[in-house]
Structure 1
């Protein structure tokens, strides 16, 4: 399979203005649908979560098949590989959301509203990074090298956090976003439904829901820095990069309730993500070097897809084996994950 190789100023995209308009319109329509579903706070049943998860998994598969038939197998493989990478990173994002929801003691009926705000924030931030990434690829010959270094640094940080257990704790009091909000407005201790601001003794005050939403937005920014360079390591097409991110994020609200117990059993996920990000970082570095020196090999996207599937399969199996005697969702699982 031939590998796309673009230099600065030669970036091409399958996304026509009409396709961009239809895709963005579809994403907005799905977000409106999600907000309508979560308008009345309620506990999400497993049946409801499974139904929505099946819907949001079917959508990218249908879209990927359409890309394959419309633009060829190469672009189809690029989309499916990029989607798998983004979905894997999103699952790790979900684990952080789970820690935040627990740390802020978010009521179960409000959890999906918090997750939905997180998804919207992630989409907005990643769209900004996608645009910046596309501009960098068009103007900077060493943009791929920068992306490679970002991913290698992130992979090293993931490994360090996995070994030290740093990722397992959330200290609300030390979060900069939370401290900043408390400087400007008082905060009440109890939740008031979906309200983020209430009046107490004639003064406006923030509810804990506002704090957790801001905290989720802050984590969105961190994950956007990692995820966008990762998918640019699969395809340089800004439209496909946006599509993979959108499809990976839209189903997170339902997926959270499906995987809530299982998430804590994926004790080796961070190691797998570190390997995947390091692999894509090396791929990007070779891509940059290929344009500078002759004879530097490239890693085909098909090979990348096999590596990513292999790594995820291995860490899932080893995680489940490591926690086979632990009740899902218990404190023992978190300890084992460390």
Structure 2
């Protein structure tokens, strides 16, 4: 019910208030007074210490088990562990761990480049643009996907018959394609590190990524026979990519798309285009806090363990100001995503039109 209320065209006539930045100022004051922006050093230091220890234990077990097809289970576990470590890097990139920007940067370099094998500089550039304008055409790189189309604008570009057929059925392929996300993340980061000379700490990233990717590959092929090694890497990267994609996809996919020429105030821009996922503290851990996407977009530097406490406060504030606040279950969000991208692929032009766009058109017509 919350999902329909937040994204359906019927929302256009409800009279969304547009009081400008003062609305967010009031909310920011409430959050500051609550103490939810304070650092959680104990929580994060425990994770920073645990990350290399757990990864080291996984690699030790890998060497001890040896050349056997049972290593596919090790590969799956390693994919999960690396995703959880990547979530920690996400927190550091948003300055959630330390006050010092330099400390957060170096934490990201070690976590992202050295442990996970993803370029921090590439990801930071891409993710910063996404946070500034979520779901906005021409501004958010996360809606400019190479395979799946999530906007009517991209779907309208003429394609060969085979591509058109695939896109009209793209909902069926969405989750299988996520198995390739791990390869894509590594490849995109490596490409940017070697091509963009102006990247901050470029040589540090090249060194860390080189140690991680080359060293890891040598270890895998040293311990396993070639066939088993290739299968091991495929399973590990597949689990890593699927887990990452399945955690990030519910946040904005299937939410309103903002036109290129439309400007929204910060509060409406971040809340209306984001979706929260209801669940227990177990889900909070599984999704790395990404299930509180609204809170995260409004207060990116808020430590992950505080997001759960902030959610009901922000939801209440949005209700008072008549701002759509979307919450749904995890599997419901996946169903919404599949239905949405299928509609886009079929060329429907009105997929989940932004309610604020509808309101503006309504007021213009009335005037």
TM-score by length of 2: 0.30
Name which one, 1 or 2, has greater alpha-carbon Rg.
2
TM-score by length of 1: 0.32
